[in-house]
Every structure is written in C-alpha cells, then in structure tokens.
Amino acid sequence: MLLRPHRTRARRTTSGDSGTERETPTAEPQLSRRRSPRRSRWLDRYGWYEPRSEGAWSTTRQAEAWNLATSRRRVRQDGVLAGLNTISGELEIVDAFAAYGAETSGINVCVIGDIGRGKSSWIKTVCVLRQLVAGRQVVVLDKKPQAGRGEYTPLAQALGAESIRFRTGGSGARLNLLDPAISAGGERRGGIDGVVPAGQEALVLAVLTDAMARDLDEKEKAAVGAGLTLVNAEARAQGRDPVIRELAMRLLDPHPDDGCGFGQRWNERALEWGLEPGLALLRLADRDLRGLVDEPTSPAVRDALETHPLVHMDLSALPTDGPALRVVMTTANTWLANKLAARSAVHEQTILVVEEGWHVAVGSTGEVFRSNSKLSRGLALSTISAFHHPADTPLDSPARALMGEASIVVMFGQARADDAAETVRMYRLPTGTEDTLMRLGRGQALVKIGSRDPILVTHIRSPFEAALTDTDAAITGEAGALSISDLARTSLETGEAQ
C-alpha cells in the first residue's frame, strides 16, 4: 500500500464575524490500492498461479503475523470421555489405562479440590460408571455418609451391585486381616516377577505400629513374625482361617517351645518378646476392630470380585477417629492387591476408588497403602484417590507421596491461596496457574496427564449420571423424589447431557 498525496481538495472554513464561508485549498494524504496484477493466460495454463506443494522460506517475524492456533487436535481415540476442553471445545478423553505408555508411565490418578467442586461426580462418572462400560472392574471404598448410607449406594443400586456394609461391633461385613488370600510373608504369588504386595506380616506390623504409637523393636518384630507363622500353620492344619485374636493369645500365652526358632540361648526369653504387641492386638480385637477384621472374611467380600464388576464397600458407618477405618481400608487394599497378584497372566484392568484419601494415607498403614499402589502397573490396578487442602498435608506424609506420584492429576477449584500455591508447586504447573485454580467453577477442572501441559476441562454428565451424582439433595430437600428406575427411564427418554 502506498501513502501519497492524491489530489488537492478544498476545505471549508468559516470566517469570524461575517459568517461567510470560504474555500481553503489543502493537500490531504489519501490511501490508494495498487491495482491487482493481471493474470497471464499462458502462465495460468501452466499452473503458475496454483499453490506450491513445496514450502517457502520465511522469518519468525513474518510468520508471527499468521497467529497460528496454539491448540492441536488429540490423536488418541480410545478411552473414556470426561468432558469438553473449555478452550478448544473438543471432547477430552481422560483414561489412565488408555493414556499409559504414550502419555504416562503410571496408572494412578489423584483428584484434588475443595468440597463441593465436583470431585465425587467426576470420580463416579469418569472413573466408575464409564469404566464399567469399558469392561473394567471397580472396587469402591466408600467412606462418606449420605442419607445414612455410603454416598455410592445409589450408584451401586442402579447397577444392581450389592453394597457390602462394614460396622463396628460385629453386625456388618468382615475382612479378615489374616485372610489366607493375603500372602503370609509377602512371598510371590503368580503374576509378574517383582510384583509383591504387602503380606500379612507387613500389615500386622503396620497396624501394631499405629496402635502402639511407636516403632516395634527387633525382638517384638521377631516375636510377631514367629507367632504369625505358628498360627497360620495351626489354622491350615485344622482347615480354617486364622484370626488376629489367636495371634494375640499366642503372643501373650506362648507354647513352651515357641521360642525354639531363636536358638538355645534365647529359647526361654523369646517367650516374653511378644507381650506388648500381644496386648495391643488383643485390645484392637476386643474394641476398635471388633467385628471388622478379626473374624473370617464374609462370603460377600470373598466372592465380591467374581459376582459383579462393581464392588461397593460401604465404610460410612465406621468412626473416623480411631484406627478402624484406616485398618479396614488398608486391609481391603492389601487383600485386593494380593488377589490381583495371584491371578494368572491374564490381568483384568481394575480400579480402586478411595475418596477421602487422607483417612487412609497416614501413619504406617498409609505406608502399606502407598507401597501397594506403587505396584499398580504390575497388577493393572489403578488407584483413584481424592484429597482436599493439600497445604495442610505434611510434606513427609504418605498422603503427600500418593498425591505426588499420580500420573494423572485432576485439579478442581480451590478457594484458599495456600492450597492453590501448594498444588502449583507440587505438580510444577506454569506460574499463574494459582489464579486459574482459584477461579474454576463447579464441574471445571485442570487436568494434567503425564508431563503434558494441563488442559481445562468442563466435566459433562448425562441426566442419569447427574441424578446419580447429585450430592446436594440432602441440603436442597429434593432427595428421594425419583427412584433409581425413574432415573434410568428419564435418562433413556431424554438422552441429553448436561
């Protein structure tokens, strides 16, 4: 484009008091377009004006003007959908099993965010319902009470899965801490080399460490290990399952030759070594853990994985203070890891959902839980854990390690600046992400898959899913108006998503 004086034009001015107008000639710059070149018929015939297939050199400064789009279309098509990419408007797949290999090196998922931001809704839809449709099996350790039951109860009912309810005192389901399905000493059980979940001994020692609020010394560990071997052997010989009360009594009242394994010199004195662990175990069996992990595993639990792809363990009736919840969760996790490890080479993809992750990821039992989840790839077991207020979690806690080791992180809104800052630090997110985290609306999440930059996703639910995941019912008083069959029918009739 050229800028040059084009023509001289007269400008009108009004002269002072006379009010008469006179013409003043001025030179005004005008824009003129260069005439478009004429196409030569001959050159046209030989394709001179067609786009060139080979590239042409340019400079960064020139190319900048093209303002290239910054988002690119994802190439992967497999896996379950989570929602819409808020920036590009494309559908986003968030699936730990599908992302493994190409995008991540692990399959554990961590969901972080304040209460009421949509964490549970995401987990129930993306990590449970849609995963079941994709042929995976799901085990839920459900802690949060809602209308007197675990919050996953409507979901289990809708899918026809039995809710296995645990209660202190003996009237609920039981999961034996010394279940024969859990290997005695952590020895290898089929599966893949090097994939060895915690065994009974590690589990009992972790429970004792938490209960006694101190580490066990070598003598105590030796006594517990020896007692466990004896109790296991005796129960096997009698064709029944050992229980922790037996172990407690064996430590408190050992047989005269129980110390033989420690040699002539310590034979007698070794009988004393199990006193304190024995007392602690007896207290747990008689009080905190009574009717939970101190009896043979109930058939509903034992056969759970075989009867329905969804296993709902309702722990909402267990007290949050005290060891019961932690111990049951860790025992369930260890039992599941052992069951999966014992399976033949054909591994079924399994998801373990543990919302309220901080209940389980503390102390020694938390360490057991964490080391089991490290075996995820070998067991094809993806652990989904949810947390809020990461800034309140001590840096050296197993909870923090679980959060940090997740391959996929789903970050919902966080109102507190320290939580947002801690999340950014933990996952090395781009600076400025704190603001984004603090401004996310309900159902919106930043999702980080492997080392990719986080994407902003708006979680989309079908009406059926929305009705099943609505946790506001108790507050708004709209609970119970629809039965599960109503919900299913509504979703089939409307078929729209929200």
Ligand X SMILES: Nc1ncnc2c1ncn2[C@@H]1O[C@H](COP(=O)(O)OP(=O)(O)O)[C@@H](O)[C@H]1O
Nearest CB to ligand X, comparing residues 448 and 459: 459
Q: Site for ligand X (CB under 6 A): which residue of 108, 121, 371, 372?
A: 121
Non-local (6+) Cβ contacts of 145 within 8 A are 151, 316, 317
Q: Site for ligand X (CB under 6 A): which residue of 245, 250, 370, 461?
A: 461
Nearest CB to ligand X, comparing residues 117 and 189: 117
Q: Is 471 an interacting residue with respect to ligand X (CB under 6 A)? A: yes
Binding segment toward Mg ion, per CB under 5 A, in 112-120, 214-222, 233-241, 321-329 = 112-120
- Identify the three-state secondary structure at position 446: strand
Contact 76, 98 (CB under 8 A): yes
Q: CA-CA distance, 226 to 249, in Å (whole number)?
A: 13
Q: Which residue has the tokens 């009470």?
A: 145
Number of residue whose CB is nearest ligand X: 443
Distance (Å) of CA 447 to CA 308, 319, 413, 451, 452: 30, 33, 12, 11, 9
Nearest CB to Mg ion, comparing residues 138 and 248: 138
Q: Per-residue x/- marks for ligand X, 55-94, CB under 6 A?
A: ----------------------------------------
- 314 φ/ψ angles, rounded to the nearest 5 degrees: -90, 105
Q: Is 472 an interacting residue with respect to ligand X (CB under 6 A)? A: yes
Q: CA-CA distance, 404 to 397, in Å (whole number)?
A: 11
Residues 116-175 that bind Mg ion (CB under 5 A): 120
Binding segment toward ligand X, per CB under 6 A, in 64-72, 116-124, 198-206, 256-264 = 116-124
Q: Site for ligand X (CB under 6 A): which residue of 74, 84, 86, 116?
A: 116
Structure tokens at 233: 């052997």
Q: CA-CA distance, 323 to 293, in Å (whole number)?
A: 12
Q: Is 442 an interacting residue with respect to ligand X (CB under 6 A)? A: yes
Least distance CB 150 / Mg ion (angstroms): 12
- Tally of CB atoms within 10 A around 28: 10
Q: Is 149 an interacting residue with respect to ligand X (CB under 6 A)? A: no
Which does residue 6 touch among ligand X, Mg ion, none (CB within 5 to 8 A, set by kind)? none
Least distance CB 443 / ligand X (angstroms): 2
Complete DSSP assignment for 226-272: HHHHHHHHHHHHTTS---HHHHHHHHHS--TTTTGGG-TTTTTGGGG
| Closest among 185, 175, 299 to 243, alpha carbons compared | 175
Contact 279, 117 (CB under 8 A): no
Nearest CB to Mg ion, comparing residues 151 and 179: 151
Which does residue 443 touch among Mg ion, ligand X, none (CB within 5 to 8 A, set by kind)? ligand X
Contact 382, 137 (CB under 8 A): no
Structure tokens at 305: 């994985």
Least distance CB 240 / ligand X (angstroms): 42
Which does residue 121 touch among ligand X, Mg ion, none (CB within 5 to 8 A, set by kind)? ligand X
| Closest among 269, 278, 263, 183 to 224, alpha carbons compared | 278
Least distance CB 119 / Mg ion (angstroms): 5
Q: CA-CA distance, 332 to 412, in Å (whole number)?
A: 28
Least distance CB 144 / ligand X (angstroms): 8
Contact 79, 97 (CB under 8 A): yes
Which does residue 470 touch among Mg ion, ligand X, none (CB within 5 to 8 A, set by kind)? ligand X
Nearest CB to ligand X, comparing residues 285 and 468: 468
Which does residue 118 touch among Mg ion, ligand X, none (CB within 5 to 8 A, set by kind)? ligand X
Nearest CB to ligand X, comparing residues 96 and 111: 111
DSSP 8-state class, residue 343: S
Binding segment toward ligand X, per CB under 6 A, in 62-70, 113-121, 127-135, 310-318 = 113-121
Q: Is 120 an interacting residue with respect to ligand X (CB under 6 A)? A: yes
Q: CA-CA distance, 125 to 336, in Å (whole number)?
A: 22
Which does residue 359 touch among ligand X, Mg ion, none (CB within 5 to 8 A, set by kind)? none
Q: Which residue has the tokens 């373990």?
A: 352
Q: Which residue has the tokens 């129930």?
A: 124
Nearest CB to Mg ion, comparing residues 130 and 388: 388
Least distance CB 436 / ligand X (angstroms): 17
Least distance CB 117 / ligand X (angstroms): 4
Q: Is 117 an interacting residue with respect to ligand X (CB under 6 A)? A: yes
Least distance CB 389 / ligand X (angstroms): 12
Helix (H) or strand (E) holding 335: helix 324-341
Binding segment toward ligand X, per CB under 6 A, in 59-67, 112-120, 181-189, 309-317 = 112-120
Nearest CB to ligand X, comparing residues 213 and 475: 475
- E strand map for 33-171: 81-85, 91-93, 109-112, 137-142, 145-146, 149-150, 163-165
Applying CB under 5 A, which residues contact Mg ion? 120
Applying CB under 6 A, which residues contact ligand X? 113, 115-121, 442-443, 459, 461, 469-472
